[in-house]
Amino acid sequence: MTSTNSPATPSAASSTATLSVSPERLAQLRQATERFPTDPLGFFSLGRALLESNEHHDAIGNLQRALALDSKLSKAYVLLAKSQLAMGRSEEATKSLTDGLLVAHQRGDLMVKNEIIDQLKLLGAPVPDFDVPRENQDIGEGQVLDKRTGKVGSKLKKPPFRNAMGQVIFDNISAESWKEWVAMGTKVINELRLPLHDPKAQKVYDDHMVDFLNIKDLL
């Protein structure tokens, strides 16, 4: 499918050039969506990769498909709005952000919620009046402020992996969110038939995990 997106502005191009995804990686992600057309995370990952490659027209289509399969992917609304804005479709972006704000609020995804609020304010758009959870929360012994939910939860007993990513998860993700990922990760492995001894398959699995836990900016 050929992209028909409008050229990015110089500032947008310079901010995303270093994030461009390789053609090989894009091909792998496309193949995954073709093989598993009901997996929302597959379309989310492809949409994000297309956004990072400034292929905004195709990014929009894939992110919309991800949300059609799972409307609770709050981060997908943010990425969708970014591509819509890059194509000059500000009204659509405002609607995407507003819809995403409600989802993030209902799911308790505080980090995404705050990001959407900031974007709506930058656009001069009205921000729905939700009860905003307290950001300054007391963190007791054996607890952690969860990067995914923005809420205090139980701390993991130990890092899940013996590497830098494992430490990031240990420091920023609650045991409750990690348990949810283990269930989702099993679904990803089964639906995508990922042989984790293959480095490429491991990369696909890791990308899904990073998206789910909302820790990409920490790695």
Single-letter residue type at 56: H
> To which CATH superfamily is domain 1-133 assigned?
Tetratricopeptide repeat domain (1.25.40.10)
List the chain residues with pLDDT less than 50: 1-18, 132-134
Provide CB contacts within 8 A for 47, sequence distance 6+. 59, 60, 61, 62, 63, 65, 66, 76, 79, 80, 83
Single-letter residue type at 206: D
Query: pLDDT tens across 89-117, in order?
Result: 999 999 999 999 989 888 877 778 889 99
pTM of the model: 0.63
Give the model's pLDDT for residue 69. Answer: 92
Topology annotation, domain 135-219: YggX-like (1.10.3880)
CA pair distance 94, 6, nearest whole angstrom: 19
Give the model's pLDDT for residue 150. Answer: 78
Give the model's pLDDT for residue 19. Answer: 57
Give the model's pLDDT for residue 59. Answer: 96
Phi then psi for residue 150, to 5 deg, are 75, 10
Domain ranges of the chain: 1-133, 135-219
Number of H helices, E strands in the chain: 10, 2
Let me know if the fold of 1-133 is the same as that of 135-219: no
